[in-house]
Each structure stands twice: as C-alpha cells, then as structure tokens.
Amino acid sequence: MTNISEVVASARDAFNSGVTKSYEFRLGQIKALLKLVEENDKLLAETIMKDVRKPKFEAVIFEVNYVKNDLRNVIFNLKDWMEPEKPDKSLTFAMDTVLIQPEPYGVALIIGAWNYPIQLCLAPFLGAIAAGNTVILKPSEIAPHTANLLAELIPKYLDPKCYQVVKGGIPETTKLLEERFDYIFYTGSCAVGKIIHQAASKNLTPITLELGGKSPVYIDSTADLDLTAARIMFGRLANAGQSCIAPDYVLCTKEIEAKFIEACKRCIKKWYGDNIKANVDYGRIVNRHHFQRIVKLLEGAKIAVGGSHDINDLYIEPTILRDVKPSDPVMQQEIFGPILPILNVSNAAEAITFINEREKPLALYLFSTNKKIQDLFLKNTSSGNLLVNDTMIHFSCDTIPFGGVGNSGMGGYHGKFSFDAFSHMKGTLIKKLDKLGEYANAARYPPFSEGKMSFI
C-alpha cells in the first residue's frame, strides 16, 4: 500500500510553500488539466466504457466533454472568482474597507464514485485546484481502469507535488481518513457518507457529501405523456439507470399510469428497436453484485414492461413496475438500475405528503404545466434540486448549485459553486489606524458614563 501519511505530508508541504496561491499557477495547472483531457479524450472515453460499459455517446457527452466545458468555464472566469467581493457596508463601516476574500482551505481529499468515473473525479478536482488547494484524489476501485489512467496521467500533466492520486478501495480510504485534511469532498452512497462525516468530525474538517437516494417523479394530468415518457426514460435508462439523480419512482393516478406505460413502451421501441440487448446505445450493470441486488428487487413485482435479464452479460431490460406498494423491496433502497416502479396517488397534495414522509431526495422531478402545481412543489417540498418537466439535465446548468440535502448530502458544486465549495470565504474588515477614528471609538471605551448609557 502507498505510504499514505507521506503522501498527505508532501501535499501539506506543497500547500505550505504557497505555490498554489497565485492566479498564474492555478491557471497554468487548469490549462494543463484541459490539455490532459483534450489529448487523451478518446482514451478516457474508452477507459470509462471498459469500466462501466456505457454507450460511447454517454461517456463522451456526460463525462469527457462535460469536463472539457467545465475546464473552459473556469479558465474564462477564474480571475474574477479570485477577486475579493466588496459587500455593502453599513454606516458604521462607511470609512472602512469591507471584503470577502476567498482563500484555499489547504489540503483537500476528493473521493470519487464509479458510475461517472471521470466526471465525478475531475469536476471536483478542478474546483479544488481553482480555489488554490493541494489535492489528493482517490478514484473508485470499482472503476479500476479509470483509476489507473488518472494515476498515470495526472502526474504527467500537473504538478506532482501538489496533486496526487491514491488508488485503492476501503483499506486505502480508511487509512486516508485517519489523516488530517482541510477539506473532504465525497461522492458515493449515504452509508459511506456517514463514515466520511464521522471521520471528518475528528478534526472538524469541512465536507461536501454528494450522496444518493430515491429521487421521485410526480406526473399530473396537464403533462404531455409522450414528452414526459421520453424525458423520464432518458433519466432512467442513461448509464443503465446507474445515475445518482436518475428518476427512481413515479407517482401518478391510475389513469395517467396506463397512458404513461404505453408512451414508455413506444419510446423504448423507438430508441432501441426490438433487440435491446444487441443495441450498442444501451448500457450494462457495473458488476455481478449490483446485478443480483437489482434483479432481486423484481421478485414478486408486477411487471408492466420488460423484466428480462442475463447475468452473463450484466444486462437488465428497461423495466416498468405497476401496482407497487410503499412496503415493496423496490421502495426500500435506491434502485440504481433500469427499473421504474409506479405508485398511485390521487393528486399533487398526496404526492407531496408521500415525498415529505421520506428522506429528502437528491433530485425531485415534477411533470406539470400548471404554474400553481409547480409553485406548490417549489414551496412545499425539500430536495437537493428541483427540476420541472425534465430529468437529470439540471446537472449541466452550472449557474445553480448541484447537490443534496439531509440524507442526500450536504453542500453543492458545479460552475462557480465548485470554486466556492473549496474556498473559505474570509470576511475581512480593514480600518484606518488614525486619530480621526478615535472620536467615534471613544463611545465604546470605558469609562461607561451615564451619558453613554443613555445612548444604548
């Protein structure tokens, strides 16, 4: 095993040297990261496909190109983001300088997940570099080819003292968590999120937790069901359902359910034809463990669409379940596979009650053109993100924070929010040390005469 204490100590020495603080250094490293992605884009996409067997289009669009765009956005904006913000001042501080100065935390640990192995490592990594931290990146062991490639390429392109990759699984992560970091950014399951939270609390280390859970969808009678089906199937079937913000279950009336199922059938046929298994545009489950877990959720379920599977190919057909009860196994865990259960509710109020009785989701999806219903969900539900009339695509809107709340995580990132996540916003007040200021200050110095008391 890598000597983890030494790796962390060298990252700390590098931070303490002050090298990562300047705009020029950060910009140079971010440009080097862009060069890494541009020069190796095909290899990166192929490596993702080796680990996760997702369609090439998805590997390119949701990972490689996504990261390229993110990098270009940071290169364009970094100078502005590093500038101290000058907030409004009250009269008391009218003569003073009031600033909010972003400063790097120090040594950041980033722990990535396997399902989008490049995006989920490089997007936070970029935020940490932009904010001026040194970084230790721990990719997921469940995507080993990607982890190997990152460990090989990052030291070739970036400063190897400031940015290091540690490969490995639970033993290595456990060892890492024994060390003191100044920031920890974790992507993965809620269960491990709690382990990270506990480890971070030993040193009061601030953290971002990008977790998962069950992201609900509500469809009302105003929604065009062909459009709705396409947008929900997009989210449920991309990466064979293995996305943290995939729509996990649908709530709707019995009447909508029947039409929605027919619309989904048409959509699946249009996209994948009659032989879905042979279609290269449809992905696979990452490993046998997850395959068996997902297939078990089908036991005793009423299958409206699909249901076939093949463990040798890690293939699960796009599947829709009807007459699902809240107590069914499929409703007890995040599905993380291409299965969509439908539960019946009679109206929006009942859907909101159902959602609010459960853990706060990472994403909440509403399909309705009724502004009052949109407003009802906006004001009466809590979720990491709310997306109306589509699924998943909010992750690419980088002017809103992406992240969870409650059990689905804490903190947000993407765009400037990634820079902010890895920056301490240092409130700064600069006063003049002059005699003039003392006239006002005399009021707060002893002796506290009756005259002064009458002013408070």
Binding site for ligand NAD (CB under 6 A): 111-115, 120, 138, 140-142, 169-170, 173-174, 187-189, 192, 195, 210-212, 244, 334, 336, 362, 404, 409
What is the nearest approach in angstroms of ligand NAD to the Cβ of residue 37? 19
What is the nearest approach in angstroms of ligand NAD to the Cβ of residue 164? 15
Find out whether 374 and 351 touch, Cβ atoms under 8 Å: no
What is the nearest approach in angstroms of ligand NAD to the Cβ of residue 329? 17
Catalytic positions: 210, 244
Mind giving me the DSSP string for 128-160?
A: HHHTT-EEEEE--TTSHHHHHHHHHHHHHHS-T
User: Closer CB to ligand NAD, residue 33 or residue 113?
Assistant: 113
* CA separation, residue 6 to residues 78, 167, 437 (Å): 31, 15, 50
Helical packing angle, 225-237 and 254-272, nearest 10° = 60
Interstrand relation of 409-410 and 207-210 (parallel, antiparallel or unpaired): antiparallel
Interstrand relation of 412-413 and 302-305 (parallel, antiparallel or unpaired): unpaired
User: Closer CB to ligand NAD, residue 223 or residue 405?
Assistant: 405
d(CA 335, CA 341): 10
User: Closer CB to ligand NAD, residue 197 or residue 259?
Assistant: 197
As a residue count, the chain comes to: 456
Note if the bond before 338 is cis, omega within 30 degrees. no
User: Closer CB to ligand NAD, residue 189 or residue 389?
Assistant: 189
User: Closer CB to ligand NAD, residue 78 or residue 200?
Assistant: 200
User: Closer CB to ligand NAD, residue 20 or residue 164?
Assistant: 164
User: Closer CB to ligand NAD, residue 322 or residue 416?
Assistant: 416
Closest to 133 (Cα-Cα) out of 26, 275, 1: 26
What is the nearest approach in angstroms of ligand NAD to the Cβ of residue 354? 20
What is the nearest approach in angstroms of ligand NAD to the Cβ of residue 199? 8
What is the nearest approach in angstroms of ligand NAD to the Cβ of residue 380? 23
For 176, residues 6+ apart whose C-beta sits below 8 A from its C-beta are 4, 8, 109, 111, 136, 138, 166
What is the nearest approach in angstroms of ligand NAD to the Cβ of residue 219? 22
d(CA 9, CA 205): 17
- CA neighbours closer than 13 Å in the CB half-sphere of residue 203: 14
Closest to 59 (Cα-Cα) out of 144, 146, 141, 139: 146
Find out whether 142 and 114 touch, Cβ atoms under 8 Å: yes
